[in-house]
């Protein structure tokens, strides 16, 4: 892995690693708390994703959790303490939302490897990422209404665009959890990886094996994406996002061409890709300058 332009952040409750060239892996590391994210965690993760977007050598991010949970949502103990205090106020989330992800507008792809429980803010995060791989034991839900709170970190308007109004209403108004298979059928999950059942997942070794299986699938996709032109990946992702955000096809196509077309055409990678095709060899990409 080449040296970084700036040093990586040092989050308090997450581990950073680089399992393949150009790939950042972030592992939530509060397994005893089911990887619930507290105020410090939100700030730290916002910094991590901002760093990834600006670090030229990185092309794809992967987010997963340690233990039997991906992320069970907000740290309700911290929230309760702050809500009960007459002086201590609940720290605001960063503009990028829950875990720096649920309202993230970053430019580089982000994949979630959902290794287990995924509730509340955990679900809000996966709704706004690019690809979701889930363990068969994973359960996914928005239980906020059962706790008297609301999913305000960006999930609700985004959820309806992914699963449709009726399914979004069922999920959000009942607070019930979906199995990984049901979430895949609804379109929240790209694919499901068969792992040992969560009811037997209290053994640490078994948890690690289950997490490894789903992470291997996610990392395989990350490596595949990282092997493509980094310029083309960024612009292609932006084009898909424009459509998902509700912009008409003609308008989105025009915006994409006007904003990115010239910069893409003048970059080194498009020239390298065409040369490599003509010369019948694998392209050697440059870090994106877009």
Residues annotated as catalytic (active site), given as ranges: 124, 144
How many other C-beta atoms lie within 10 A of the C-beta of residue 111? 25
Q: Residue 88's CB: how many other CB atoms inside 10 A? A: 11
Q: Tokens 């994703």 — which residue?
A: 49
By the 10 Å C-beta count (0-12 exposed, 13-18 middle, 19+ buried), 6 is classed as exposed
Quick check: 22 and 55 in contact, CB under 8 A? no
44-70 CB burial, b ≥16 within 10 A, e <16: bbbbbbbbbbebebbbbbbbbbbbbbb
User: Are 117 and 68 spatial neighbours (Cβ–Cβ below 8 Å)?
Assistant: yes
Q: Are strands 117-119 and 110-114 parallel, antiparallel or unpaired?
A: unpaired
DSSP-assigned beta bridge partners for residue 65: 28
> What's the order of all strands across the beta sheet hosting 117-119?
69-71, 117-119, 139-141, 177-179
């Amino acid at each position: 892995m080449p040296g970084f332009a700036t040093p990586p952040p040092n989050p308090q409750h997450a581990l950073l690693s680089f399992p393949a060239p150009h790939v950042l892996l972030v592992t939530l590391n509060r397994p005893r708390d089911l990887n619930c994210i507290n105020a410090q965690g939100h700030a730290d993760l916002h910094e991590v994703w901002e760093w990834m977007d600006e670090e030229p050598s990185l092309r794809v991010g992967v987010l997963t959790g340690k233990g039997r949970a991906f992320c069970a949502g907000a740290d309700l103990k911290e929230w309760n303490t702050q809500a009960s205090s007459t002086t201590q106020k609940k720290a605001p989330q960063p503009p990028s939302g829950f875990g720096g992800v649920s309202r993230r507008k970053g430019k580089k792809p982000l994949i979630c490897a959902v290794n287990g429980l995924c509730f509340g803010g955990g679900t809000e995060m996966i709704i706004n990422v690019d690809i979701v791989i889930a363990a068969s034991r994973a359960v996914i839900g928005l239980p906020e209404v059962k706790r008297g709170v609301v999913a305000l970190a960006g999930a609700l308007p985004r959820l309806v665009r992914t699963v449709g109004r009726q399914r979004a209403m069922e999920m959000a108004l009942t607070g019930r959890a979906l199995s990984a298979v049901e979430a895949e059928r609804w379109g929240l999950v790209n694919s499901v990886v068969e792992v040992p059942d969560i009811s037997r997942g209290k053994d640490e070794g078994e948890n690690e094996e289950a997490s490894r299986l789903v992470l291997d699938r996610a990392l395989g996709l990350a490596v595949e994406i990282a092997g493509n032109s980094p310029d083309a990946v960024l612009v292609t992702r932006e084009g898909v996002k424009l459509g998902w955000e509700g912009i008409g096809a003609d308008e989105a196509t025009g915006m994409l061409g006007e904003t990115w077309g010239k910069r893409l055409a003048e970059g080194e990678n498009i020239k390298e890709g065409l040369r490599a095709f003509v010369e019948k060899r694998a392209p050697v990409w440059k870090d994106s300058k877009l």
